[in-house]
Amino acid sequence: MKLYYCDVLAPRKVCAALKTVLKLPVEYVYVDLGKGENRKPPYKAINPNGKVPTLVDGERTITEADTILCYLSDKVGADLWPSDKQRQFDVMSWFSWNAQHFLRATGGLYFEYVIKDRYNLGPADPAEVEQALAEFRRCGKLLDAHLKERKWLVGDRLSAADISVAVTLPYAAKAHMPVDEFPAMRRWHDQLCAMDGWLDPFPQR
38 DSSP 8-state letter: G
pLDDT-based confidence at residue 205 (cuts at 50, 70, 90): confident
Band the pLDDT of 30: cuts 50, 70, 90.
very high
Cis amide prior to 53 (ω within 30 degrees): yes
Can you give the pLDDT at residue 93? 98
| pLDDT value at residue 61 | 98
Domains of the chain: 2-76 (3.40.30.10), 85-193 (1.20.1050.10)
155-200 tens-digit pLDDT: 899 999 999 999 999 999 999 999 999 999 999 999 999 999 999 9
The answer to whether the CB of 3 falls within 8 A of the CB of 53 is yes
Helix, strand, or coil (residue 52): coil
Half-sphere exposure of 22 (CA within 13 A, CB side): 27
| CB burial string 173-204: b at 16+ within 10 A, e below | eebebebeebebbbebbeebeeeeebeebbee
pLDDT tens digits, 99-151 = 999 999 999 999 999 999 999 999 999 999 999 999 999 999 999 999 999 99
pTM over 0.75: yes
